[in-house]
Each structure stands twice: as structure tokens, then as C-alpha cells.
Amino acid sequence: MNKTTSPDLKSWVNIPGGSDFTIQNLPYGIFKYGTKKPRVGIAIGEHVLDMSFLYKKGYLDNLFLNENVFKSVSLNRFILLGKAYWNLTRNRISELLQEDNTELRNNKEDLKAALIPMVEVEMLMPVQVPNYTDFYSSMEHATNVGKMFRPNGDALLPNWKHLPVGYHGRASSIVVSGTPVQRPKGQTMPEGAEKPLFGPSKLLDFELEMGFIIGRGNEMGTSITTADAENHIFGMLIFNDWSARDIQSWEYVPLGPFLSKNFASSVSPWVVTMDALEPYKCDGPVQDTPILPYLKFDGEKNYDIHLEVYLKTEKGDSTLITESNSKFLYWNIAQQLAHHTVAGCNMQVGDLCASGTISGPTPNSYGSMLELTWRGAKPIVLNDGSERKFLQDGDTVIMKAFCKKGDQRIGFGEVTGKIVPAF
């Protein structure tokens, strides 16, 4: 455990009980405030710490930065500086915010400018994403889907326990939390139809996932080992990979999803660093099938991140519809990245890799409507008495994620998206 994650740390900033943004967290994001240009911020309690202002006023002089990387529309410029600078910055901010440090706390003028109420800022996309990869790493999810779509065959395909299945997705349609999600249109082949129909998806779904951001790339023709993988990852965020199930079931053979996935994916605005997540590492499921040497690893590589999904109707009623955990992932992020690069793929700073739907072992821990309603056969009853098989126009999906150990907690905030009618 590094000193910035110590449960003994206290801050002079007022941090409400149950807050995601404790002094042990210090996640990064991009925010806009008033007429000022976008800039880098760090979440602390109910406030955003303006990193550009701190740099300008000399609070970060000990970092020896030669340009203001914090006045930027994305985190990419800061991430490019490398892990040594990430650590220096994290240590300095932790120091500034600790309860016995008066440097910023006692400078009332600077404090007012540097610490901005979170409700007054607009959060933007945290990173510019050059490339996006979606994995399929939850055995429970893959098994559930296999049972539904291959009832007379094996739930898992022969390759599933030998490699982390994944595909390259669309990066340009990844949007920040709060962005409305338009119901997609495409071809579908309803049961009993003789030819495909065209129109809005009727089986719109969410997928509960976590994503990680590449912080250091590799040269084309080289690969990243499981032992070194975490040194190439800057941090993690919540990822909602919206899915049009009826479009997907018609188009996915033989190459996989296309229109059913490329219309939108939503991310939370705060990126939690791997340093902050270190105390929450844990063992993952036992991998009971022998794997090739490049996928083997030592130590704890999964993360104990509690996940929740709420469905909010236009009436304003909100229902907790599932709870899961990233520790259920069969393939961990080190294995995902090692497999991604083993053929020589060159990762780039800002690349985003998502876990695939994270489902747990029980029906109330499934990570998609497809599973929760078992393909529509078992509708969900919401708190207002209405039912859902899949998502309706006007529904808002809210995903939350946090780690907790005793009284210590860090979190990711939330990612939200409201379904609006097809264009």
C-alpha cells in the first residue's frame, strides 16, 4: 500500500459520509466551469480541484513540469508524461489536501478559485480515445448467453476458457455520462418473419462493464506481459456498452456485432487510478482449464469493485435492478492486455479496453436486461409497478461503482444515459 491510500489519511476538505471521492481516491476528469476552457480536475468530496489553477499559482512547482498539461480538453497530455509524473502529482495533491497542510486551506482567495462545487461544473469526456476494444470476460455472462442462444449445445464455445475473447469496437461514439442515447435503427429478423424488417430496435439493452485506459503504449511487433500490464494502465472507469439485441441477433454471424453496438457507449467522467485501486486487488475465479504461458500470472489481478445498476422511469421513480462485482471476471485486465498485444498490436495512450458484461452467479447479479429478464421471458417489476423486458424510450440507466473495505471507500461516481426516440 502506498502512503496516499492509507486509511489514516484525513482531509481538511469536508467529505460527506459515503462519498466516492475521499482523499484516498483522487480520480482525474475533464471539466468546464463558466466561460473558462476545459481543464483537468480532481474530485474531492463534493468539489472539483482545478489542477490548471494550482499549476498557474505555483502549488505544483515541485513537479518540474515544462508546460501546463492541465489546461487541456483531455487527460491524454498528462497521461503521456508517464507513471513517474502520475505518482509525483498524486503525492503532491494528497499532501495539499491532508488535514494538517495549510498551504491552500489558509489562502482564502486561492482556495475559492481552486476548489469548485461539483454541482457547478460540466463534466466532459475524460480522454480522447484513439481505439476501443471490448472483451467478453465474464464466464457467468457468456454461459447465460450461450444457454439462451444455444440451448441444445455447449453454453461456452471451445475457445472461451483458453483466451480472452474480444473485438475491436467504434471509438468515435463513446460518450460521457449524461449524453442522451438515441434508439438505433437497423435490420431485424423477428421470429416467424420471412424477410428482414427495418426500423428502430425494440430490444434495447445496457451492458454493465468496467473499462481501463492505456497509459503507456508499446511498439508495433512487441507485446506486453501479464507481469508488466498494470504499468501500462493509467486507470479505470465505468462503461455502459449499450446493445440492440434484435439488430445483433440478425447481423452478428459471421463477424460479430456491428450496428447493434456502434451507436453509443457511455463512460463515467472520473478515471480512478491504479494506485488508488491497489488496496482492493483480490483473487479472481479459479481458471480450471490449462492456459498458455503468456496468459499465466502471479498474485492478485482482479479488483473488488461493487457494481450497481438503477433504472429510472420518466415518472422519476428509480429501481435498483442488479448488483454485481468486477471480481467475478474470469479473465483479468492483465490477461486481457497481454492477449491484446501478443500478436504485436501497438497500444496507444488513451486506448480504452472494456471488460464485457460483468454478471455474477445469481439472477440478481446479472449485468444486462437480456439476462435479468431471460430474453424477455421474465419481466422486471419496477418500484412504480411498471414492467420492463427491455429498455423503453424515456428510461434512464444509472450505473455506479465503488470499492469498500471497513470504513475506507473510493468510488467512480456514476454513468447515466437516457433513451430518446429514434431519429
Q: What is the DSSP string of 206-263?
A: -BEEEEEEE-S---TT----TTTGGGGEEEEEEEE--EEHHHHHHH-TTT--SHHHHT
Calculate Rg over the CA atoms of the chain: 22
Residues 210 and 249 both lie in one domain? yes
The string of DSSP codes covering 315-384 is: TS-EEEEEEEEGGG-SS-HHHHHHHHHTT-----TT-EEE------SSGGG-SBHHHHTTTTTSPEEPTT
Please check whether residue 242 is in contact with residue 265, taking contact to mean a CB–CB distance below 8 angstroms.
yes
Residues 328 and 249 both lie in one domain? yes
**pLDDT (tens place) for every residue of the chain, 423 residues total:** 589 999 999 999 999 999 999 999 999 999 999 999 999 999 999 999 999 999 999 999 888 776 689 999 999 999 999 999 999 999 999 999 999 999 999 999 999 999 999 999 999 999 999 999 999 999 999 999 999 988 888 999 999 999 999 999 999 999 999 999 999 999 999 999 999 999 999 999 999 999 999 999 999 999 999 999 999 999 999 999 999 999 999 999 999 999 999 999 999 999 999 999 999 999 999 999 999 999 999 999 999 999 999 999 999 899 999 999 999 999 999 999 999 999 999 999 999 999 999 999 999 999 999 999 999 999 999 999 999 999 999 999 999 999 999 999 999 999 999 999 999
Residue 358: give its domain's CATH number: 3.90.850.10
Please check whether residue 231 is in contact with residue 149, taking contact to mean a CB–CB distance below 8 angstroms.
no
- The parent domain of residue 109 ranges over 3-124
Residues 366 and 416 both lie in one domain? yes
Measure Cα distances from 414 to 159, 222, 325 in Å: 34, 36, 15
Identify the H or E element spanning 39: strand 39-44
CA angle 347, 352, 354 (to 5 degrees): 120
Residues 300 and 233 both lie in one domain? yes
Spot the catalytic one: 141, 232, 339, 340.
Answer: 141
Torsion of CA 222, 86, 63, 39, to 10 degrees: 110
Rounded distance, CA 282 to CA 227, Å? 16
Q: Give how many domains the chain has, as a whole number.
A: 2
Count the alpha carbons within 13 Å of 422 in the hemisphere toward its beta carbon: 13
| pTM of the entire predicted model | 0.97
Residues 92 and 213 both lie in one domain? no
Domain boundary among 87, 102, 124: 124
Domain boundary among 124, 143, 165: 124
Look up residue 125 and give its amino acid.
Answer: M
Rounded distance, CA 61 to CA 116, Å? 21
Helix (H, G, I), strand (E, B), or coil: what is residue 279? Answer: helix
Residues 236 and 375 both lie in one domain? yes
Rounded distance, CA 335 to CA 295, Å? 6
340 is catalytic: no
Residues 322 and 363 both lie in one domain? yes
Residues 103 and 143 both lie in one domain? no
